[in-house]
Structure 1
């Protein structure tokens, strides 16, 4: 059988003047035409959309610069379940990497979705070079540029003001452009392949079944959150001191860092602790009870002898870290010390509150599922074009009873919680007499003689 031609075959007209049927090309001819006229990126876009097309683009490489010329920062969702307070969580890591030497300068790990406090903690670790025996060694200092994506936490006022206090410019990249921060994206990919894939309860592990894995039935013992953080920091230390790269001519990131003669600029003493903290801008009085902030008192042992006489201080704090604050002098700006929450709850109290909240969450979920089941309306299947009939029918009495119960719940929600009904009037009391308009026009009785 001869293969059909690639071009459209316009049929000739028959004796009555009507056009003859057009010959349809075969499926193989259509596939060959698509491969001939569309490049791989366009064919990928037909299958997976724009995101799949971008995987076939070609990107340029930035020229390699010097140490601390540019850092890149990003969040990485760790696909590993770890145990924290009896629950399984997938932590996040926020880290910064030097683009010239591929050295990880600092990292912060959170058991939940990170926010600006994780970024500030990672920045403080990245800039500081005090702990040379830690996982980052002597790597650190002030970068000349920080390159990030358009995450709202990276672009928050707290992070931008903290970097602006040290004159560090921030380059926010366009959205959906991971190739513009390829150094940190490569770090995320290497961390998953070299570390996360080898840990227990790795959620991206392949399975023998085509069905989705039920994580609740996985009997593998998970790592604790503390053990996971220790493993991750050990891997960072190995990355900086033992992992070699062809891009660094076979050297480790630490070797490339130490062999770079570029001077390192460190922050001024006492400046690093303050630049990553927020200031509410209000002056407060240091009393005998401590410093009052957000409805709670904070105290410190250094406050002895300083309370009274209207001493004015200001509060600086790390976002979401309400257990302690930094106190500075409101006039000179000098740091006075750290203050801790005066009446902090014990571990047993926090555990009890957490259990109560979990029970309330389960109750609300169960009530929501029951309400959703009642709200969903099912219809009978039809075989002809007509309006389907509802299957869940209600009697008039059932509908009225449910509406009345709903109205009662709404009235209970609007009622004042402290309102109590009045007690009955005692028998010995004289009640006021109801007056009429005619009584108002009567003259007042004359006073007794």
Structure 2
């Protein structure tokens, strides 16, 4: 094919290159430039408009020679490809991927396994000595196997070989949820606080349960417990989140949310929490388990609280340590005299929550504090009547009880209150609501009108000294049982000698025959079945009105009995 020559390009036309220009044209990636250029040149060739000037322009734009451009075009005409020919290389097959998974990503172990299989196949080929049979192909080198792993498996797949699904998820890309308005969605979670505090002279690790608004990053409610929380902590934090006022702990932040997003915790999915939110028509979105990225707002709050507040407290257990002992994660056990009391810790945590809402400037909020973002949002807030909070954020067993002169009977206990003296008639039908596990007080409501009558406390409650004495007794019994179990385990667990080759280990502990007989005799003396004497008192004759089993009839021999022939 002959190519028409065209006159030198006019710099003003914008098609050719400016000969006097000192700045070279930008060089596009060669592979992408080649595919686009070959497609364009083929289109010009089909219309008969392809010239050497077009090829020269493509060569200068892709930083290749003119001969290379003609070679690209020739490969596209005859072979139908516009990209470089792929070189044949060793790839990771599903069978090799399964081997790597079995060896937890150890490529060297897989390579040794391939070499052993090749040696065995080669030995079998030599023994068979079959004419015309193909010699088994050698396995790839270890460097080739490593290169194939890097090219065929992405970083997440390579991490999953050694660390599993949790390691693979570190390489995932997570999308952000669209920005919403205040009270459009809340997120809730429990946070285990890695700080030791003192409660009744015992070291405990507190937990915090809090709700956060996704749009303004404002903490709407929180509750702290010295142990793993349950439904009562959720209801207490929810009550603080729903109510708002200038005199409340969280100020004007609060109200009814449009949605509450939680994980699949059994306490969050309990009937009590669903009933409390369902009374205000607030749906609960339960997210899949072990997917913290789906509720990133509260997870980011957990991370910020640990780095910005918990790490600076005495008794923080994740502090760096100078120890080289494996598994050491603490900075040394803090003496009990330096630890905070639980009320002091709660006070400081509530102060930090106030600082987070009112003084912490967030980059995600454009340099504003959560309170400023909350106040500048014009979305209307739906408030809840405070009397309804007591009615719907408490657990109700659904039973109707009677108010007597002894009080209200609940869980086989009597509860009394000052309002019962002259303020209620005996025989009034009431319903009881309370926080789960908070059995020291209950809230009493009229069963007919639903009016809150008052709070009732446990009658004849044990004193603090009695409770402490009972707890000390239980702890002592627990320690005695633990020592007995440990001693029995040491006596019954056999010990064996270490071995240096494949053989049955020898059991340790020499024992004479006299010691064995003595131990067996002691065991018989403590066995109730051995000490029983069933023939000591012979049984008496059964009464005449008892129906006893008939005695077996005698037979004449192995043949049928005589009664059968009659």
1:149 to 263, 266, 277: 263
Structure 2 distance, partners of 1:182, 1:255, is 21
**CA positional deviation for 1:351:** 1.5
The answer (yes or no) to whether the contact 1:101–1:248 under 8 Å persists in 2 is yes
Structure 1 distance, partners of 2:185, 2:540, is 87
Matched with 2:70 is none
Describe how 1:383-398 pairs up with structure 2 within 5 A. Answer: 386-392=503-509, 395-398=516-519
Matched with 1:174 is 288
Matched with 1:430 is none
Q: Deviations over 1:153-183 (max 9, x none)?
A: 0000111111111111000001111111000
Describe how 1:225-236 pairs up with structure 2 within 5 A. Answer: 225-236=342-353
1:90 to 205, 212, 215: 205
**CA positional deviation for 1:24:** 5.7
Describe how 1:355-366 pairs up with structure 2 within 5 A. Answer: 355-366=472-483
Matched with 1:317 is 434
1:283 to 377, 392, 400: 400
Q: Deviations over 1:170-199 (max 9, x none)?
A: 000011111110000000000000001111
Q: Deviations over 1:315-339 (max 9, x none)?
A: 1111000000011112222111000
**Cα gap change, 1:390/1:58 in structure 2, threshold over 3 Å: closer, same or farther?**
same
The answer (yes or no) to whether the contact 2:187–2:295 under 8 Å persists in 1 is yes
**Cα gap change, 1:274/1:392 in structure 2, threshold over 3 Å: closer, same or farther?**
farther
2:161 to 30, 46, 50: 46
Matched with 1:77 is 192
Structure 1 distance, partners of 2:541, 2:527, is 41
Structure 2 distance, partners of 1:102, 1:288, is 51
Structure 2 distance, partners of 1:129, 1:214, is 40
Structure 1 distance, partners of 2:373, 2:542, is 100
Is 1:271 matched with 2:392? no
Structure 1 distance, partners of 2:543, 2:486, is 63
More helix by share: 2
**CA positional deviation for 1:151:** 0.3
The answer (yes or no) to whether the contact 1:283–1:312 under 8 Å persists in 2 is yes
Structure 2 distance, partners of 1:282, 1:71, is 33
Matched with 2:526 is 405
Is 1:219 matched with 2:335? yes
TM-score (structure 1 length as normaliser): 0.84
Matched with 1:108 is 223
Is 1:352 matched with 2:469? yes
Larger RCO (CA under 8 A, 6+ residues apart): 1
**Cα gap change, 1:191/1:151 in structure 2, threshold over 3 Å: closer, same or farther?**
same
**CA positional deviation for 1:376:** 1.5
Q: CA RMSD in A?
A: 3.1
Structure 1 alignment gaps of length 5 or more: 412-433, 441-449
Structure 1 distance, partners of 2:543, 2:288, is 81
Structure 2 alignment gaps of length 5 or more: 1-87, 92-114, 533-538, 546-566
Q: Deviations over 1:245-298 (max 9, x none)?
A: 121111110000000011100113410111111112222221111111112111
The answer (yes or no) to whether the contact 1:284–1:291 under 8 Å persists in 2 is yes
Structure 2 distance, partners of 1:157, 1:234, is 32
The answer (yes or no) to whether the contact 1:288–1:307 under 8 Å persists in 2 is no
Is 1:36 matched with 2:151? yes
Is 1:190 matched with 2:304? yes
Aligned residues: 410
TM-score (structure 2 length as normaliser): 0.67
